[in-house]
Chain A
Amino acid sequence: MRILWLVLSPLIALAVGLFFLGLSRRVMARIHWRYGPPLYQPLIEIFRYFTQKGSSHGVLFGLGIVLSLAGSIVVILFLPFGGICSMSGSGGMLVVLYMMLLAPLGIALSGGEAANPNASIGISRKLMLALGYELPFLLIVLAIMTHYDTISLVDIVSAQRETASAFASFPLVLSGIAYLLILPAMLGMRPFEVVHAPQEISSGPIAEYSGPYLGLVTIQHALTTFIGISLFVNLVWGGAGNPFVFFLKMLVVLAFGLFVNAAFPRLRVEQAVRYLWRWPTLIAFVGLILVVTLGR
């Protein structure tokens, strides 16, 4: 069973992620008063990418993106998905936090190898933005880990299922709010989309990808979206007992992200970091202080 889930969970994540991508394009189109592409449009595109001829800039160019995608897959194995977690007990949340590094790092390495300054600019923006949202995010994660006194994600989820989800329990509500505030940044959605600005820096890190490489990047994007949303659901919304509920919860979170995405213009990276280090950090900080002072 466990082996089965090891194989299945990345596939499920991929399916869900691609669905989310298609859905978000559709929803955005509707918000724009357009008809929008079919839901399976991302799938078509990935298929198209894989059948095209790619141009490679070196060994690392391929290796980086492989590393990045592998990192995301491993993270997925560590994430509980509605009661299913294929790799609990191998290091817990800390491993997840670290494995989440691999995705941007791999892209950054391979984008750097491409020797395109647009890619470099994008990467530098991505890293700075990550530094921006990582501060409140860590505050939130630490508040939750301290509150439930464990570093295991599964334990956090089960603890929330026993009492109430973090959103609904008093000292953690601030952390939850802060998480909501930084969620678009973590998902790379609109106000924080400066990393991939297509017009200004030609999609940033992925400027030089073509063919199968681009296909992998798109898959990577799908998985990242999945990871970001499911982490939110697991950490502050109590996970779920079965995959279906979990999926529904994820949909809600995605919808929230999409509305933000549609409603806001893009921020410059300084503005973004300044925002992230101001309100979300402040709220998360107060939340952490509350957790520490109030205890369980």
Chain B
Amino acid sequence: MSFLQDYVYYIGAFGLVLIGLFIILSRRNLIKVIIGLSILDTGINLFLISVGYISKGTAPIFSKPGLVAEDMVDPVPQALVLTSIVIGVAVLALALALAMRLHKLHGTLDLRKIGELKW
């Protein structure tokens, strides 16, 4: 049980990553692929958070008495995730914008049919 407790976030993150990858690799619809990317990103963000997370940990505020360093959650991953979320959103927005454009130009979002550039 403690295994699950210790690793649940990792398992979740891993699961999300796998789901994301699976979607990217298997779906043909661009929107779905973008969703897959987003899920992948989420999974990675979760992974990053869980790297620094301590179960029942506290905020890393040294000025508050009673909080010991060993129980503190590492703040760095959270800062990283913040950045990564921003980046992820930017990519997502861009991807969606491009998807719209693509649909306008190609009339489809099926990636298999959008293969004029090859070889």
Give yes or no for direct A-B contact (beta carbon below 8 Å): no
